[in-house]
Chain A
């Protein structure tokens, strides 16, 4: 059971962080970074399963492979931006977290540009 491992990992790291917070608060941020990374490693097999399923579905529906990879990239950017901004927020740096989120939104927009262009092309084709 992966979920039990993940919950146990979270509880252990939280208790370690609580112990360390009163002694040396500088070390708590590293423990929380490592915990996030380890939880992600535990989630990789599930991620791979879901991605394979989505890829299979998009192959069956005869979708353009470009769109699927763009979608995947957007999910990845959203995940990594959330990871970083939550870490900054935990450490009390709200302004840096906001800037990371802004950068993430902008890069997602840039990734989505070809799809928007394709939509406009389609509309122009449909219109007489």
Chain B
């Protein structure tokens, strides 16, 4: 059970939000966009791993070969 993964993702989201605001306020819009993109890619990597494990478990549980 990795419930802390939810908190990690929410934390990444909040940190990106804060950094995005700071970068946007200091006039670096393009860096702010890249930062959001990188955050999304990191989170997507974690979530895709979990989804693939989840699908494997469903395959085993419901005998969907």
If A33-B47, A80-B58 touch, does A41 touch B14 (CB 8 Å cutoff)? no
Tell me if B's interface is mostly helix, strand, loop or mixed.
Answer: helix
Interface size class of B (residues with CB under 8 A): 20 to 34
* Residue interface bits B30-65, CB-to-A below 8 A is 1, else 0: 000000100110011011001100110110011110
In the assembled complex, the Cα of A50 lies from the Cα of B39 at a distance in Å of 40
A101 to chain B, nearest CB (A): 17
Known contacts A20-B13, A38-B6; 11 further A-B pairs (Cβ under 8 A) = A12-B6, A20-B17, A24-B17, A26-B40, A30-B46, A31-B13, A38-B2, A48-B61, A77-B62, A79-B58, A80-B55
Would you list 5 pairs from A and B whose C-beta atoms are within 8 A, ordered by A residue? A19-B14, A26-B40, A27-B12, A72-B63, A76-B61
